[in-house]
Amino acid sequence: MFYRTFAAAVLLASAAQAQTNLPFALDWKFEGPAAPYFAAIDNGHFSDAGLNVTIEAGNGSLDAIPKVATGAFPVGFADINSLIKFLDQNPGAPVIAAMMVYDKPPFAVIGRKSLGISDPQSLQGKVLGAPPPDGAWAQFPIFAAENGLDMSQITVEPVGFPTREPMLAEGNVAAITGFSFTSYLNAARLGVPEDDLVTLLMADYGVDLYGNAVIVNTDFAKANPDIIKGFLKAIAMGWSDAIADPAAVIPMLMERNPAADAELEQRRLELSIRDNVDTDWVKANGFGGIDQARLESSLDQIATTYDFVMPPDPSVYFTSDYLPEGGFKLAD
């Protein structure tokens, strides 16, 4: 009996020692859309892949790019459009997107009807609050160009992330840039009536871009392809768990962020699933991959407001080398 107990303990210790530590740099704080990653931890998907994953909150959808490019983190979560510009300005930097998560980006302008916001044109003559590191603000020039907006007629107020929604709630700005599922619900929580809020989802107004993706350090990925493949599979399983039962994964988020509002974060997660992750294209083509023609089209659109230093090369920005053919199937 002692021998069997001792042997089991040795096997457990060996299994624990075999786990590879893998820090993951998130784009934002621990809100509803982060729950799938905690589900991948708590439901054993990462450990089944031999990984001990730790997750660090971020400060915006550009935040993880330099962290991964410098090798401080082997994997992260960031806006692919910002990654494209980063790689254009830092050619050869060892970072690339390896799994698309937000097939339809949540980049949005959220405004108040009572302050005159109804459509893109109504932004002219108004004050727009925009955090400089915000992924939605990074794409605003494309949104403005696609809708014929005169930027000289919009007063842009640089704001911090903590003050963005409060400024909208207090009426200090008429609209803000942000992720649709973040800023809308945050403003509503601060007391702005939901029927006074207007969400201008950039993807509905001519912006044909992808959103946030899992990015990897290319040096690490080339040296450890199986680790990256296992990591991406576990993430897909975490999202599948969240899609199958959003309520079941929210307690995993609350454990890491006890101050959060569980009902609010579940709604935020459900909005991200419906509008950004489990899209019609993903249902038909699998989760994680991209449409090459759409990526090339998005590069053309980025070029309308951004002067590329180097000729854009889609192969530099996204790789499917670590995905199964046809992507991952998510829960129905």
Q: Which residues fall within 8 angstroms of residue 5, CB to CB, at 6 or more apart?
A: none
What's the pLDDT score for residue 10?
A: 38
| Among 324, 104, 117, residue whose Cα is nearest residue 230 | 324
Sheet holding 127-130, edge to edge: 155-158, 127-130, 175-179, 107-112, 197-201
Q: Examine the pLDDT at 191 and tell me if it is beyond 90.
A: yes
pLDDT-derived band of residue 213, with 50, 70 and 90 as boundaries? very high
- Residue 206 has a CB neighbour count (10 Å cut-off) of 14
Q: Examine the pLDDT at 11 and tell me if it is beyond 90.
A: no
| Among 65, 46, 4, 55, residue whose Cα is nearest residue 26 | 55
Distance separating alpha carbons of residues 143 and 29, to the nearest angstrom: 26
What's the pLDDT score for residue 38?
A: 98
Q: Examine the pLDDT at 2 and tell me if it is beyond 70.
A: no
Q: Examine the pLDDT at 304 and tell me if it is beyond 50.
A: yes
What's the pLDDT score for residue 7?
A: 40
Q: What are phi and psi of 82, to 5 degrees?
A: -70, -35
Average pLDDT over every residue of 80-107? 96
Q: Which helix (H) or strand (E) holds 55?
A: strand 51-56
Q: Which residues fall within 8 angstroms of residue 270, CB to CB, at 6 or more apart?
A: 32, 246
25-73 pLDDT, tens digit per residue, is 999 999 999 999 999 999 999 999 999 999 999 988 788 999 999 999 9
What's the pLDDT score for residue 1?
A: 45
| Among 294, 92, 122, residue whose Cα is nearest residue 203 | 294
169-188 pLDDT, tens digit per residue, is 999 999 999 999 899 999 99
252-262 pLDDT, tens digit per residue, is 999 999 999 99
Percent of the chain topping pLDDT 70? 95
What's the pLDDT score for residue 60?
A: 81
Average pLDDT over every residue of 301-309? 94
- Token readout for 148 is 């014929």
Q: Examine the pLDDT at 89 and tell me if it is beyond 90.
A: yes
Q: Examine the pLDDT at 312 and tell me if it is beyond 90.
A: yes
Averaged pLDDT score across all residues of the chain = 93
**Most confidently predicted of 17-31, 52-66, 106-120:** 106-120
What's the pLDDT score for residue 6?
A: 36
The pTM score is: 0.88
pLDDT-derived band of residue 326, with 50, 70 and 90 as boundaries? very high
CB 325 within 8 A of CB 307: no
What's the pLDDT score for residue 14?
A: 43
